[in-house]
Structure 1
Amino acid sequence: MPQIPNDHPTLWIKSTKSESLKGKTIVLAVTGSIAAVRTVELARDFIRRGADVYAVISEAAGWIINPMAMHYATGNEVITGITGKVEHVEFFGNLGRADLLLVAPATANTIGKIAAGIDDTPVTTFATTAIGAGKPVMIVPAMHEDMYNHPAVMENIEKMKDWGISFIGPRIEEGIAKIAGNDEIVLDVERAIGKRTLCGKKILITSGSTAEPIDPIRILTNRASGKTGNELALEAYRRGAEVTIVHRNRLGVSGVNEIYAETADQMTDAVLDELAKGYDILISSAAIADYTIDASEQKIKSGEEGLELSFRNTRKLIKEAKQAFPLVKIVGFKAEAGIGADELIRRARQTLLDSELDMIVANEVSKGGIGTENNNVTILYSAIKENRNIKGSKSLIATALMDEITELLTSKGEI
């Protein structure tokens, strides 16, 4: 007979998304903002990434979201008051078992009380204890914009930032300082208490396709979506790195530096400019155009006689980067179509050697991979190390590749 789980059904989703927060305990402190309704899904997002989540709610929060909902969301009993168990000490005393206190949403009232050391609700009591013990605290404000702009609220926020407390958001929309999106909250929590294996490292990533203009309207491009590059940037950020991504898309993560580059020339120039500032590694995942043309300044008229274009080679980004910065580590990507696995590996290995790369990621895209959610790639190394095949979502591939990059950047020798 199949084994029947004895834990709460909510916990059956644990680590189904990733294990970025595996082994971590998060206390989600909920206050009396209407944004409290968002915390059910937020708690489950943390659980999907491996965390254990406990909820503590104020009386005002209970007017908006029933404690039963948070019990369902976390799979654990909800703390609505401090009892003989001294819950605030259990989780955030010097020997407390929690890794993070996340106050989300945080009202202006709660922010003021935490800043003043007032602990007259379960949430503020938890905050006082966590801050006093030097435990990580993150606050996600949510209130009307006029309240957020009050000088005292601004002073309280700056005061707590000076204490080392992190703030996430808010988003100013429709006259409201809205709670940050769940994706943003989760990402910043992952960075704060996750693996942290790339702290102090600077990582430069190129991503997506370039676009070579034919005239003011038409362009030459390819099917690359930039999903892999985006996932690599997010994973590097999660692990504590300083991340810059050069592309013609929009990632929209406040902690990741984005540089817009449309053409192959612009991307190459941007990368060389950035590398001059000092980076540990360049991850060249962009599908950069091999050919370009001298664009017409006027729209080329359409007609029945067809059109002939004269192409010329674009600059080779990796070659120029290697010449200008010979010590920087470089990871390249090799996409081929219509060839077998052995030939793919042979060509990738040749590119690895010719370009003096530290690592190369090869994939055959005729049956998928380019512009899709999933991929099947093989990692080859400059050192004597067995090739590694990874198949699955681009998020999974980015995680595995960043494991290899972490080893490359933190090991004393080559991998």
Structure 2
Amino acid sequence: EDADAILVAPATRNTIAAHLHGMQQGPLLMALSAARSRSTHVLMVPSMHGDLASDPVTDDIVERLREEEIDVMWGDLQEGKRKTPDHEHIVARFAHGINSRKKYRKSVVVTLGGTYSPIDDIRGIQNTSSGKTGFQIADDLYRHGHDVTCVVGKTSVQMPGWLPLCISAPQPQMMLKELMAIANDDIDAWVHTAAVLDYVVENPANGKLASQQGPLDITLIEGDKHILELKSKTIGSTRIGFKLESGIKQRDLIHRAVAQIEHSGMTAVVANRLEDLDDASKPRGYLVDKQGSHFVLENELDLCDALRTIIERGD
């Protein structure tokens, strides 16, 4: 029977070698042989002792697998063995491999987390953002076969270990520098979930400022707006921003989102209010498009589905 993909986990060296030599000893090898003739996606997860994994013959076998466009996923070396990775990592990699063959797969950059501006070597100011939403969006896009790059600020949640490229950029200028460099590549879509500081410390002190010295005056200056700085370098790309407000009516929230779209050249903006985020009776946010239409996003799944649809359409 035809299959979308085949996962072999764990894959012994014997099984790998038998497949490469066209052996037909059992249903698994027969299925792998059929997959080869049909160019079906295959993911193999080798598991064996460290000495066997480092054998030059094993290297040759794995190289031949990759020449046949079979995806090979090694686990970490633990207790002298190359053990099978955790199931979440395997499923994410498997899903990415299957879906990357579909049409309309894109190169996507996702910014996430908060940003930090130092006062001195010890203290600083920082936006409050865990990075959870950004990682969820990046994970969803990766599992659906897109080429995802994350530019990561300060976060407080665990990063999915299977995301292929995550660049650390905790300060606003560091993040902007990375984004400007990435913009030189052929990027199809940008998702700006990072909470970038609007104001940064003008003159951070060297060392640590002494304690108990009375009032401390700190001058804040307006920082660069990343989405504006990138505007001229992302012409033709899909650009999605996030707008978090507080203490305003829903109507005004939508108006501010439309203004950001018009001013910054965005494709769409996800708008929400701080006071709604912990209220289960309120939607996750509102997706606002270039025409000023807005759509309710009830939860994180709705959010991921909506953004992925926009990115795949290439709006």
Q: Residue 141 of structure 2 corresponds to which residue in structure 1?
A: 236
Work out whether 1:275 is the aligned partner of 2:180: no
Q: SS at 2:284's partner residue? A: strand
Higher relative contact order (CA 8 A, sep 6+): 2
Give the distance between the partners of 1:316 and 1:198, measured in 2 at CA. Answer: 33
Q: Deviations over 1:371-392 (max 9, x none)?
A: x9x96110111136x3111122
Work out whether 1:378 is the aligned partner of 2:286: yes
Q: Deviations over 1:331-370 (max 9, x none)?
A: 1110011222112112111222222211111011124269
Give the distance between the partners of 1:354 and 1:134, measured in 2 at CA. Answer: 47
Please give the root-mean-square deviation of Cα atoms over the aligned residues, in Å: 2.4
- Of 288, 295, 298, 2:196 maps to 288
Give the distance between the partners of 2:22 and 2:261, measured in 1 at CA. Answer: 58
TM norm structure 1: 0.69
Q: Deviations over 1:34-81 (max 9, x none)?
A: xxxxxxxxxxxxxxxxxxxxxxxxxxxxxxxxxxxxxxxxxxxxxxxx
Contact 1:237–1:243 under 8 Å retained in 2: yes
> Residue type matched to 1:299 in 2?
K
Q: Residue 96 of structure 2 corresponds to which residue in structure 1?
A: 191
Q: Residue 328 of structure 1 corresponds to which residue in structure 2?
A: 237
* Unaligned stretches of 5+ residues in structure 1: 1-95
* Bigger Rg, structure 1 or 2: 1
Q: Report the CA distance between 1:105 and its aligned residue.
A: 0.8
Q: Report the CA distance between 1:255 and its aligned residue.
A: 5.3
Change (3 A) 1:395 1:176: farther
Work out whether 1:406 is the aligned partner of 2:312: yes
- Of 207, 214, 222, 1:313 maps to 222
Q: Residue 388 of structure 1 corresponds to which residue in structure 2?
A: 295
> Residue type matched to 1:399 in 2?
D
Q: Residue 222 of structure 1 corresponds to which residue in structure 2?
A: 127
Q: SS at 2:114's partner residue? A: coil
Give the distance between the partners of 2:103 and 2:114, measured in 1 at CA. Answer: 27
Change (3 A) 1:198 1:210: farther
Q: Residue 78 of structure 2 corresponds to which residue in structure 1?
A: 173
Contact 1:198–1:240 under 8 Å retained in 2: no
Which of 244-253 and 202-211 deviates more?
244-253
Which of 301-310 and 145-154 deviates more?
301-310
Change (3 A) 1:261 1:188: same
TM norm structure 2: 0.90
Give the distance between the partners of 1:196 and 1:365, measured in 2 at CA. Answer: 39
Q: Report the CA distance between 1:238 and its aligned residue.
A: 2.2
Give the distance between the partners of 1:152 and 1:396, measured in 2 at CA. Answer: 48
Give the distance between the partners of 1:326 and 1:126, measured in 2 at CA. Answer: 46
Give the distance between the partners of 2:235 and 2:38, measured in 1 at CA. Answer: 46
Contact 1:114–1:128 under 8 Å retained in 2: yes
* Unaligned stretches of 5+ residues in structure 2: none
Q: Deviations over 1:224-259 (max 9, x none)?
A: 111111122122222322221111357354552221
Work out whether 1:207 is the aligned partner of 2:112: yes
Q: SS at 2:244's partner residue? A: strand
Q: Residue 7 of structure 2 corresponds to which residue in structure 1?
A: 102
Give the distance between the partners of 1:290 and 1:357, measured in 2 at CA. Answer: 18
